[in-house]
Amino acid sequence: MDILPKQRGVFFMSDTPDQKLKGSLSFSQEDGGFLEIDGVFDQTLKRVFNYSVIHGELSDGTLVTLFDCLVKSFPSFQTSTSNCSYIVNFIVEGGQYCTKEEVILHSLKIEYSNLSDWIMIHGFQFSKNFSDKKFSVDYTLPKPIELYKTSEYNLSICFSASLPRLEHVQKEAAITQETYFLIESESMKLDASLSISYDIENFLSFAMITKRKIAYPKKIYGTTKDDARIQIYYKLASKDDKEISWFDMLFTYPQIKEQFPKLISTWLTKADLLRPVYGLFLGIVYEPKLLIEKKFLNLIHSLEVFHRRTRYGLDLPKEEHENRLRSIYEQLVNNEHLSWLKEKLIFSNEISLRSRLQQLLAEFPILEEYLGDKKDKFISKVVRTRNYYTHYDKQLEKKALKGIDLFEIQKELQILILGCLLKEIGFNTDLTSELMERYARSIGIKLKSTSEEDLLKNADEYLQELGSPTDN
């Protein structure tokens, strides 16, 4: 998926297969796909600039389907040398389809950036004997790790390796191991498979959050229900090629090895529930140029959504609240204002932001200890600041946080959201507190007064827990 070198081929619209034009196709994850046609399709001459599908056959015989195409340039009038170019948002290499719904998969294989460093599993064994001037490398392909099974699909982590190139005069021998997630199903639509891939991408980005590294799909291969092999290309919203060390990650696979099948299954099962929460949170962390006021409001939004979706957030039980509303409506003298009143009272049974913060902070002793007797002041500052930046009421301006104070309280809110997500997907209490503290240090906050000696001890314990990268 990383890049599709520029290739020549013939291309045609799915509804006019007889009009085939020569052209060239290329793709990069940063810029997306680019198609240049030697000529002009009839539809383009009719000023149709958006195409859901364009089919093609490359010079090596590979079939391609180009989805979501937009005309970039076209001639004002047609000549023998006229050409037209298109921006292509999504490419399926290996078949021709009229819609994405027609792409029914048996399996999907996704290689993510920094996955090998996160998983810390390899099949290499080294031995050396300097007296005999001997150095040996043995390699055994690691076994797949089965993670998650449902009636719809199976999820596992698998490994592959490229064999050394053999030459008459051997100067080097290289074995390269790749690690990837594998989604297998009897029958799964392409969009459904990519949705799972996107949720896994977010989980890995969450694991690497201490260094603000987004995990992105480097390559996506699939096998269709008809045993056709395809490769998927689409433009990435963001890409960072810089590698990150396992030591700089929030957590790695060896730390959660025993719980990982349960953790990833909970993450995927609750994806629809939690996606707005971690979408807002990761967006804040990975977008440093976002205005600080916007970051703060997004953090509050993330916390409110999390609490509303996962905790009991009603002022009264539903039946009691309905009785209360009915009593209010019955007291109206003029029913002319009934619809207006009902609209105003839609969210009247929801608890306040202050109550939500009190409930969530109470779940994390490490934060309550950190805030101490300043907890109520912290909550009041958050509430007043949220109210000001939401309504920009002049009366609230003096009490609203700004500048460095807003920046600092924003970091404390990030720690709270991190803890909420860790706890919700199944991290135990001790590991949740440990990871909250680790994340806090990465953004310049000390949740605990830790001596240098304790920090070194904790680092040694962390390294012993991880061990050295090995096979499974």
Quickly state the pLDDT bin for 449 (edges 50, 70, 90): low
The answer, as to whether pTM is greater than 0.75, is: yes
Instruction: Report pLDDT for 18.
Output: 85
Q: What is the mean pLDDT of residues 93-118?
A: 95
N-term to C-term CA, the chain:
28
pLDDT tens for residues 329-360? 777 766 776 777 767 666 666 678 999 999 99
Higher-confidence residue: 329 or 114? 114
- Bridge partners of 66, per DSSP, are 54, 91
> For 61-75, 175-189, 283-297, 446-460, which range has the lowest pLDDT when averaged over its residues?
446-460
Q: Is the pLDDT of residue 233 over 70?
A: yes
Higher-confidence residue: 460 or 158? 158
Instruction: Report pLDDT for 131.
Output: 85
Domains and CATH numbers, the chain: 3-100 (2.40.10), 103-164+174-269 (no CATH), 274-313+351-466 (no CATH)
Instruction: Report pLDDT for 457.
Output: 56
Q: Which structure tokens are listed for 383?
A: 């509430």
- 236-244 contacts: CB < 8 A, separation 24 or more? 236/29, 236/30, 238/214, 238/286, 239/29, 239/30, 239/214, 240/113, 240/213, 240/214, 240/216, 241/113, 242/213, 243/113, 243/114, 243/117, 244/114, 244/117, 244/208, 244/211, 244/213
